Amino acid sequence: MTGASLAGPEEQAALLALRRQVFVDEQGVPADLERDDQDAGAVHAVARDAAGQVVGTGRLLVGRAGTARIGRMAVAAQARGCGVGASLLAVLEEAALAAGCRRCEVHAQVQAVGFYRRAGYRQEGAAFLEAAIAHLAMVKHLS
């Protein structure tokens, strides 16, 4: 893995293809729920393998009152467990800080809660369904 960075508009198609692969094809999320109108205004991160293939992505939505929301975190099956997600998360948190945000929120799929806990996120509230998948709201205060 070559590390994560902020994505440019020229990478949008590859990022969306990876999200479709992970969310729609693997997890059964309806395609019309995976894509939304917030992609255009979001900050996107990308991770590539040594061959230059996109193996990870995530997005950041900058909100009001110093809060950002990280979501659409997707890592290709062959790259999971190799630090791709942590690298993407670090890039997105750095972008949130640069945008003046001091708090990040995520809607974590329950199987990813341990990943976010290790990154310093804490649970807020009870589990809920999003796209028919159990999630937990989690937050992290940035410094």
Whole-model pTM: value is 0.94
What tens digit of pLDDT does each residue of 98-107 get? Answer: 999 999 999 9
Amino acid at 8: G
Residue 90 predicted with pLDDT over 70: yes
Report the percentage of the chain scoring pLDDT > 70: 99
* Domains, the chain: 4-101 (3.40.630.30)
Residues 87/92/96/102 CA torsion (nearest 10 deg): -50
* Three-state DSSP string of the chain: CCCEEECCHHHHHHHHHHHHHHHHHHCCCCHHHHCCCCCCCCEEEEEECCCCCEEEEEEEEECCCCEEEEEEEEECHHHCCCCHHHHHHHHHHHHHHHCCCCEEEEEEEHHHHHHHHHCCCEECCCCEEECCEEEEEEEEECC
Q: What is the pLDDT of residues 68-78, one digit of tens each?
A: 999 999 999 99
**pLDDT, the chain, mean:** 94
